[in-house]
Every structure is written in structure tokens, then in C-alpha cells.
Amino acid sequence: MDRYAVFGNPISHSKSPFIHTLFARQTQQLMRYEALLAPLDGFSQALAQFFAAGGKGCNVTVPFKEQAFGLVQQLSPRAKLAGAINTIRLTDDGVLLGDNTDGAGLVQDLLLHIPSLAGMRILLLGAGGAARGVVGPLLGQQPATLTIANRTLVKAQQLAAHFSSLAPVSACAFDELAGPFDLIINSTSASLAGEVPPIPSGLIHGDIAVYDMMYGASETCFNQWARELGARACIDGLGMLVCQAAESFMLWRGIRPGTKQVISELRRNLG
């Protein structure tokens, strides 16, 4: 049976085995997918061992995504842009191919809720690894503008400069933000600490959609904040998780699994 896995540290919380097991059942693929804890200083050895033992592909999560980027022999164009990978496939030629499906997962999930991102004025909060992985795919949707705002302004400026050859991207400090925006995506890890990035509340209006890349059994504090201020739609990152997994599955098995039902099942399981 073909073997797949997700590497991370910590990893016991990972929903990926649940998601990929449902995908495999749905598409009738004979495969096994497990969560593997890699030591913080032993990721490259764990990865090498996995493929030496016959592994066909894997996901990589926090904190190994950047390190994994340097361990594969080939990179997809979107992985090169992101500077980090979350998916590895052993090709028929025995080469490790690295890909980054996070941004595609975000875009696919957004398009389940919003008809099109073309022409939208998008604000991306945060400039860490999570933001870097999604800027390229967001720009590919041809928004009217993309503004990156971050607590540490210089990181937003660096991220904007990295992508400025693709399309105009601007950087801004939280307290200097002036709308209007049509969509705000929160890629910061503030929700983990129960905090909302200190952006002006006036940015939220009745026609705006917000997307928090975090998720949980209850509404994230960012989405709660935006909903109470009257945002039209408040979406959390559970769908992104499932959609990025579907992209990885497609890379490995050549079949695109359906995501909607898996998102619902995962949501039921969170409670």
C-alpha cells in the first residue's frame, strides 16, 4: 500500500490524516497516511528515512516548511516564489519534488464563498511564513490591489518588494491603513493568543468579507470582531486546510478529491 505522511513538531493535533483518509476513501485510492513527529534537530534524517523506506510523498508543516525547501531536488514555480514547501512527491525518476499548495488552497476556499477575486481590493494582515505562501496565488487572481500590513512594518515592505515584479503590491503599518477594502485576510498568528491585530475598526463595513486563516471549534476572535462590526461574510481557515490537502492529493495521485463534504465532516469533528 502506498505510504504518505505529514511531518511536523508538534504533530499530534494534525487533521491531515483524517482529511487524506476521507479523500482516499472517496476516490478509492489504496494508500495510507500518517502523522509523524520529527525531532526539531532531526527533520532531514526523518525525511530521508521515510523515502528510503518506500514513502511516496509527504506534507510538511510547522516548523519545517522552510527547511524542506532546501532538501528537495526540484521545486514547482509556486514553491520557488513562496520560499517554503508543504508538499513533497517522489517522482517516477526517483527525484523529490517540492510544491507549496497553501496559496492554491486559500484561493480555492475563497472561491467557494466569493464568486471571483478579480478586481477586488485585498488587505493581507501579517508578513510571516503563512503570508508569504499565499501572496503569489492571490496575485494570480488579478485583484485590483493587494496591500500587506504587518505589526513589524519592515517585514511587510520586504514581502511586498519580493512580489513586486508580479504585480503592484503595497505595504502599510496597521495604524496607517485606510480603506476601502473588499476582502481582509488575516494570516497573523494573533488569533492563537486570542488577539485581534490592531487595525482601524472603520475598515469593516457591511459589504466586506474577512477570512481568518486560523480556525477552531469556536469562531476565531478576529472573525468575531469583524462580525460584530457588521462584516458581510466571516470565513475561517478550515476550508483552506482541506483545499490545500486536496491540491497535495492531486499532486500525488493525479485525482482531485471533492472538498465540500470533507470540510463539513471535519467541522462536525471539531466540536
Interaction site with ligand ATR (CB under 6 A): 126-131, 150-152, 155, 187-190, 193, 195, 197
Count of beta carbons in the 10 Å neighbourhood of residue 236? 23
* C-alpha cell recorded at residue 28: 478509492
Catalytic residue among 65, 80, 155, 260: 65
Nearest distance, CB of residue 174 and ligand ATR, angstroms: 8
Amino acid at 67: Q
| Burial (0-12, 13-18, 19+ Cβ within 10 Å), 34 | middle
Which one-letter DSSP state was computed for residue 30? -
Query: Which of 22/190 has CB closer to ligand ATR?
Result: 190
Residue nearest to ligand ATR (CB): 128
* C-alpha cell recorded at residue 75: 521545486
Which regions of the chain does DSSP assign to beta strands (E)?
A: 2-8, 31-37, 57-60, 74-75, 87-90, 96-99, 121-125, 145-150, 169-173, 183-186, 209-212, 233-236
Nearest distance, CB of residue 133 and ligand ATR, angstroms: 8
Query: Which of 79/127 has CB closer to ligand ATR?
Result: 127
Nearest distance, CB of residue 152 and ligand ATR, angstroms: 3
Query: Which of 143/197 has CB closer to ligand ATR?
Result: 197
Which regions of 151-231 does DSSP assign to beta strands (E)?
A: 169-173, 183-186, 209-212
Query: Which of 76/191 has CB closer to ligand ATR?
Result: 191
**56 an active-site residue?**
no
Nearest distance, CB of residue 175 and ligand ATR, angstroms: 12
- Active site residue ranges: 65
